[in-house]
Amino acid sequence: MSHQNSNHSNSSAVDDKLLKAQSIPVQGDKSFRRSAISENLVTLCYEDVTTAYEGFLRGLKISENLPCLGKRGKKVAAFQWQTYTEIHQRATNVGSGLVQLGCSPSQKTFIGIYASNCVEWVLTDLACQMYSMVPVPIYDTHGPDACVYIINHADVETIVCHETKVAFLMANAERSPNLKNIVKIGNEVTDKERREAKSHGLEIVTFAQLEQMGVNNYHARKPAKPEDIFTICYTSGTTGTPKGAMISHKNITATLAGVNAVYSQGRLDVRKDDSYLSYLPLAHIYERMAMIFLFTGGARIGFYRGDPKLLIEDVQELKPTIFAAVPRILNRVYDKVMSQISESKFKKWLFGRALNSKEHDLKKNVSRGNTLWDYVVFKKIQKLFGGNLRMVTCGAASLSPKVMMFFKCSLGKCLVLEGYGQTECSGVCSLQIPYDLTAGHVGSPLPCNLVKLMDVPEKGYYAKDGKGEVCIKGPNVFIGYLKDPEKTAETIDQDGWLHTGDVGEFLENGTLRIIDRSKHIFKLAQGEYVAPEKIENTLIRSQYVEQAFVHGEGLKTYVVAIVVPDGEALKQLAKENQIEGDITLFCKNKEIREIVFQDIMKRCKEAQLNSFEKVKAIHLHPEPFSVENGLLTPTLKAKRVVILKHFREHIDKLYHEADTKLKLIRSQSEVNINLQIDQEKLK
């Protein structure tokens, strides 16, 4: 198949040199590296952007009063936009209103934000930046006890919340003695709400009233300084109570500088004609950093309607140029596409040809968006995301190289970049450079931080062998945990290294690959250490598996798994085997469970897992793990302790079932051995 001129190819000597050595050993130590882009750690993207608010001011200046924030109404299909000037004025009104409400414009004032992504969320955030206050996001699905804990732990006196959260705050008012003010996003305050608030000694106003208070009582802005706290971002945590990570404006601007330095290598700087759909939780630093970065470039940001089922509709209406993704979203799209293609042998053959051709180009470091494959095979996938994408970023969890390569091939001229980081390093510490078209790694260290691998002896990882815990040092590393010096000391060592808990290795070209997790491990009866996430990533490669939770116990020699099947794949499987029912009945069907189990075994074999890593029994569960049912954190990580408790009865049954099966196998083995002995005697 012929190709036209490529949209992007690497021909310069500088690019080739950087591709082959994307990070540089520090002090001759190959396990201790810096970015090859900059010899010194960068701290500022622009001289006039030393805080997040100054980043917004830059966008205000260069946008020429273009659209800033937009949303769709329930009946209005098109996005309705407000300009940078309008948003800046409204945020000033909100900040003045907070001061008038009694909030001191200082670092001692913590403002809670308890709502899903919306214009009011961003206005409150900007208002805090303008008046040196500290926003404290509260995850919409943290759970009641954790929410109350955050309110009390951060001494939050004022909360801006969605109207659906008012009842919860009222019901827990006695447990939140420091709370004084509730600002309601949505409808007017009801007489009942007003009476209840008064009975608890609370003041309640609507967001519109707060803005009007600011209009009537202007207070001069008192912007935060670089060293001030930008936010207290409570990590959702898979165990224990949330920890409040204190992130400064310096941390934010250093991360912006590091990311921008990488993007600039491929001329991916944010432009004022860029558009972005906000759907990942703003309470998570990943989305927050994306928004600040977009503001700095004067881009426009539209909010999705809050319903995951309508996300694709919102994407297609906005037609974004930049899209931030998490593996769960990309995996779902990949699985659906592959499932549809498998229905036709011709489609499967044609799609395979297209992928092979595009992947062949990518391996030669050539990215094209105008091939016949793009027009004939991949057009629908590109249109699924609106058809205007020029960049997709992926983070928050590990993504299969196979899925990453699928999107690099199918999204045409759009560059798909994977990064790695965590809240404690302001969201990101490594990122793929734009013209590295390979998959299977998370790029090289950002120019704003160093990365070092340190020994994890209990799992057999040693830096001298090129593998170890990923540790980060630089101006993007957070200040510490609020009111928790012990946890801070556990996370940041005496030399200033942030310990991530992830195990990585540097590849030959200087990029980082995450290979394991040092914290989520358990030891089996025979003394073998097992990393469940490694096995789970293998299991979800089965066409029938959407999610998996692997568990092992110290008195057992093997692991078992709770599996959430892919609904569409299971329906197709049931149809092929003439099994009737719904997803719940399919999960209970022994024939279906055995087919899924055998496919999982096939994936385990392909991944060359050790015998003790291969699951011996599975339970099919019809309902996905989600933030709503409390089994996932807001960043879509498994709450392992909670899941274990939730499925304890099923796990016990799996062990009983597997033990019975293994005993039967051993017994049969002994019978066979005895028969062989008897036959030998007869001879």
In a domain, 295, yes or no: no
Query: Is residue 1's pLDDT more than 60?
Result: no
Q: Using pLDDT thresholds of 50, 70 and 90, give the confidence band for residue 295.
A: very high
* Mean pLDDT of the region 580-597: 92
CATH number at residue 156: 3.40.50.980
pLDDT at 401: 82
pLDDT at 213: 97
Q: Are 191 and 163 in contact (CB under 8 A)?
A: no
In a domain, 244, yes or no: yes
Q: CA–CA distance from 641 to each of 237, 517, 540, 631, 650 (Å)?
A: 11, 16, 20, 9, 15
Residue span of the structural domain in which 128 resides: 84-253
Q: Are 466 and 453 in contact (CB under 8 A)?
A: yes
Bridge partner residues of 57 (DSSP): none
Three-state DSSP class for residue 547: strand
Residue whose C-alpha is closest to residue 518's, from 506, 528, 533, 539: 533
pLDDT at 333: 85
Structural domains in the chain (count): 2
Encode pLDDT of 536-554 as tens digits. Answer: 988 998 999 999 999 998 7
Q: Which residue has better confidence, 210 or 382? A: 210
The answer, as to whether pTM is greater than 0.75, is yes
Query: Is residue 675's pLDDT more than 60?
Result: no
Q: Which residue has better confidence, 666 or 565? A: 565
Query: Is residue 307's pLDDT more than 90?
Result: no
pLDDT at 329: 81
In a domain, 653, yes or no: yes
pLDDT at 529: 65
DSSP string for 111-173: EEEESSS-HHHHHHHHHHHHTT-EEEE--TTS-HHHHHHHHHHTT--EEEEEGGGHHHHHHTG
Encode pLDDT of 602-625 as tens digits. Answer: 999 888 888 888 999 999 999 999
In a domain, 449, yes or no: no
**φ/ψ of residue 628, rounded to 5:** -65, -40
Sheet with 545-552: strands ordered across: 545-552, 559-565, 615-620
Encode pLDDT of 638-650 as tens digits. Answer: 888 789 889 999 9
DSSP state, residue 626 = -
* Mean pLDDT of the region 586-602: 93
pLDDT at 144: 78
* Mean pLDDT of the region 406-429: 91
Domain finish residue from 253, 269, 294: 253
* CA angle (139 as vertex; 309, 392 as ends), nearest 5: 55
Residue whose C-alpha is closest to residue 545's, from 589, 592, 580, 577: 592
Share of the chain above pLDDT 70, in %: 92
User: How many CB atoms sit inside 10 A of residue 193's CB?
Assistant: 19
Least reliable range by pLDDT among 24-33, 246-255, 426-435, 453-462: 453-462
Query: Is residue 671's pLDDT more than 70?
Result: no
Q: Using pLDDT thresholds of 50, 70 and 90, give the confidence band for residue 672.
A: low
Domain finish residue from 209, 235, 253: 253
pLDDT at 265: 87
* Mean pLDDT of the region 515-519: 73
The whole-angstrom separation of Cα 449 and Cα 475 is: 7
Q: Are 107 and 228 in contact (CB under 8 A)?
A: yes
Structure tokens at 354: 């297209």
Encode pLDDT of 51-105 as tens digits. Answer: 999 999 999 999 978 999 999 987 678 999 999 999 999 999 999 999 999 999 9
pLDDT at 374: 81
In a domain, 92, yes or no: yes
In a domain, 235, yes or no: yes
User: Cα 350 to chain center, whole Å?
Assistant: 33
Encode pLDDT of 182-206 as tens digits. Answer: 999 999 999 999 999 999 999 999 9
Mean pLDDT of the chain: 88
pLDDT at 682: 55
Q: Which residue has better confidence, 420 or 395? A: 420
The whole-angstrom separation of Cα 378 and Cα 362 is: 16
In a domain, 129, yes or no: yes
Bridge partner residues of 517 (DSSP): 502
Encode pLDDT of 431-463 as tens digits. Answer: 999 988 888 899 999 999 999 999 988 777 899
In a domain, 350, yes or no: no
Domain finish residue from 253, 268, 299: 253
CATH number at residue 557: 3.30.300.30
Round to the nearest angstrom and report the end-to-end CA distance of the chain. Answer: 67
Q: Are 58 and 48 in contact (CB under 8 A)?
A: yes
pLDDT at 290: 95
* Mean pLDDT of the region 216-222: 96
Alpha helix stretches (DSSP H) within 311-344 = 311-318, 327-341
Q: CA–CA distance from 153 to each of 94, 112, 147, 179, 404 (Å)?
A: 24, 12, 10, 11, 40
Q: Which residue has better confidence, 145 or 467? A: 467
Looking at this protein, which amino acid is placed at residue 611?
Answer: S
* Mean pLDDT of the region 345-359: 87
